[in-house]
Chains A and B, each alone.
Chain A
Amino acid sequence: MTAYLLHLAILTGIHIILAVSLNLIIGYAGQVSLGHAAFYGIGAYVSALLALHLGLPFPACMAAAGLAAGFCGLGLGLPTLRLKEDYLAIVTLGFGVIVDLILLNLEITGGPDGLVGIPAPVIFGLSFRPQPRFLALTVLLTLLVLTLAAALVRSYHGRALRAIRDHETTAQVLGINTPAYKIAVFTLAAALAGLAGSLYAHYITFINPESFGLHTSILVLSMVILGGMGSLAGSVAGAVILTVLPELFRQFKDYQDLAYGALLVTLLIFRPQGLLGGGQLSLKFLRKGEEGRG
């Protein structure tokens, strides 16, 4: 029983990192990403492969996972986010599918079977295989990510990001380099998702593409929307609820997606700002053509 609770706590921590990073994109930069799990997957596979094939120590694997996912985020964001139109939702959706296909079909990623025998983290000779220790590591990393995100949001960068979310063209008129901000946030969020992936891989010790598909992207998106876009505390709450609840209703597993769907629709109707969010829901790609007329 304790083992199970520890397991849930560790998963929750990983989900918090994912939700908070996605919330930076959605709640602050006002962009919608539907492929966040792809960066999570890239982080998991890069970290696992480096550990398995090169025997790199865990901190190096994790750093590489963050860099690789961040680099992919930059590569995807650079051409997409400079455009006036918001294509990010579609591009990230496509990117998620492509990454999924690559993981399924490459030899090095083990195809549908994935990778097994990923070593547990060892830092300075201390193994984090025991669950309590892994939980401590997860909590530490989650707190670091939360601190970073809170600092970002509180600084003048956070104000610039909220300005972009509220009124992109007006933000530009004030001298805010909106493409640079959007690309930077998207890259940072992708890198953080990569870190979460690395953590997951070295915890669970076997991974396959199933954990990193559209289903997971939607789960993380649900956490952000449930908690409230633009609210970091909300993302934490959303991650906790959507990690714990499904476990309580395990016997209805087949209906899980249905339940998420129903939950999201109900929420969007009755409390569009989410549980803890103050701002309005701003799915900008749904309301085009308003801007440009001064």
Chain B
Amino acid sequence: MSLLSAESLTKSFGGVVAVNEVSFAVQEGEILALIGPNGAGKTTCFNLISGLLPPTAGRLTFAGHDITRQPPYSRARLGLARTFQNIQLFGGMSVVENVLAGMHLHQEVGPLAALFPGRRVRRAEARQRQRARELLELVGLAHRAELPADTLAYGEQRRLEIARALAQEPRLLLLDEPAAGLNPRETEDLMALLEKLGGLGITLFLIEHDMTLVMALSRRILVLDQGRLIAHGSPREIRQNPRVIAAYLGEEAGAGGEGRGL
């Protein structure tokens, strides 16, 4: 059985049908990519999956549960995590606190016990801080742990968002353009990180414009254009698909879009 499945998922904003009868399934343990020109509805798809928007029609199933009408925090409890295209950190908090916020669901301390910390509670909290530092180590931010999150450079903020999402210990991690705004070196680091996460058994579903990254990481690719799923298949199939080429070329000719590297 698939980890996540969408059936005829649809979202319209007034007259605009941003996501139009889209169906797909994400298998446990795979790395799946979602590509398509700007405005194709990719982010809207992720917003529907994570519960930030209610779908106009369709059904979502995650880990055996119908989550179509569930609020985001219930989906997180089932093991769903995500990052944002426009990074959304808690700017006032320190870097390590952002990661700790990601551990909210995994508190070892009872809600009332947390108010009056005894030795046991303090030890549990120290363990979490240690775990948060390990995650920062993993994304190469350990040396920034105590800084306010909004003082980080752009690429660092992207990595912090990933660390925060990993702190949720998700079964499925949605990444919305994780390489956007990164320099080639940072992109390479990101690729290595994502490969490592795949190796740890975390299922990855990513939106990405960097085709080198997409082709290298994912076995399967979904292509969205004007809200419709126009193709899916292996990187090789996608590269040769005439509809995909047309969608990307059309955008390139029109808005000078982002079909680079296909």
Contacts and interface: CB of A to CB of B under 8 A. Distances in A.
Most B CB contacts (10 A, CB to CB) among A169, A173, A176 go to A173
A162 B91 CA distance: 10
B43 A157 contact: no
Contact of B114 (A157, A167, A294): A157
B245 interface: no
A280 B90 CA distance: 12
B114 A170 contact: no
A163 B90 contact: yes
Given A174-B76, A294-B43, A294-B52, A156 B90 contact: no
B85 A294 contact: yes
Interface in A22-78: none
A278 B116 CA distance: 25
A166 interface: yes
A156 B91 contact: no
Interface string A164-183: 00110111111111100000
Contacts of B84: 170, 294
A279 interface: yes
B97 A159 contact: yes
Given A170-B88, A294-B52, A163 B101 contact: yes
A155 B121 CA distance: 10
A116 interface: no
Given A152-B115, A155-B117, A294-B84, A170 B90 contact: yes
Interface in A121-157: 148, 151-152, 155-157
A174 B92 contact: no
Given A166-B90, A294-B84, A155 B73 contact: no
Interface string A212-253: 000000000000000000000000000000000000000000
B49 to A, nearest CB: 10
Contact of B46 (A157, A170, A171, A294): A294
B105 interface: yes
Contacts of B43: 293-294
A279 B105 CA distance: 25
Contact of B102 (A152, A174, A292): A174
B47 interface: yes
B135 to A, nearest CB: 14
Contacts of B14: none
Contacts of B88: 167, 169-170
A292 B47 contact: yes
Contact of B77 (A170, A175, A292): A175
B90 A162 contact: yes
A172 B102 CA distance: 10
A169 B71 CA distance: 10
Contact of A175 (B92, B97, B100, B104): B104
Contacts of A280: 92
A171 B116 CA distance: 24
Contacts of A163: 90, 93, 101, 104
Contact of A178 (B52, B53, B73, B97): B73
A276 interface: no
Interface of A is mostly: helix
Contact of A173 (B82, B100, B114): B82
A170 B168 CA distance: 13
B224 interface: no
Contact of A169 (B72, B93, B104, B107): B72
Contacts of A279: 92
Nearest to B71: A172
B157 interface: no
Given A166-B91, A174-B104, A156 B114 contact: yes
B168 A175 contact: yes
Nearest to A177: B73
B247 interface: no
B194 interface: no
Interface in B61-95: 71-73, 76-77, 81-82, 84-86, 88, 90-93
Nearest to B91: A166
Interface string B27-63: 0000000000000000100110011110000000000
Nearest to A153: B115
A246 to B, nearest CB: 32
A18 interface: no
B180 interface: no
B262 interface: no
A160 interface: yes
Q: 3 shortest A-B CB distances, which residue pairs?
A: A175-B76, A172-B72, A155-B114
22 contacts: A151-B117, A156-B100, A156-B109, A156-B114, A157-B111, A157-B114, A162-B93, A163-B90, A163-B101, A166-B93, A167-B90, A172-B72, A172-B76, A173-B52, A173-B72, A174-B73, A174-B105, A175-B168, A294-B46, A294-B47, A294-B85, A294-B176
Given A166-B93, A172-B71, A174-B76, 4 more contacts: A159-B100, A169-B72, A294-B47, A294-B85
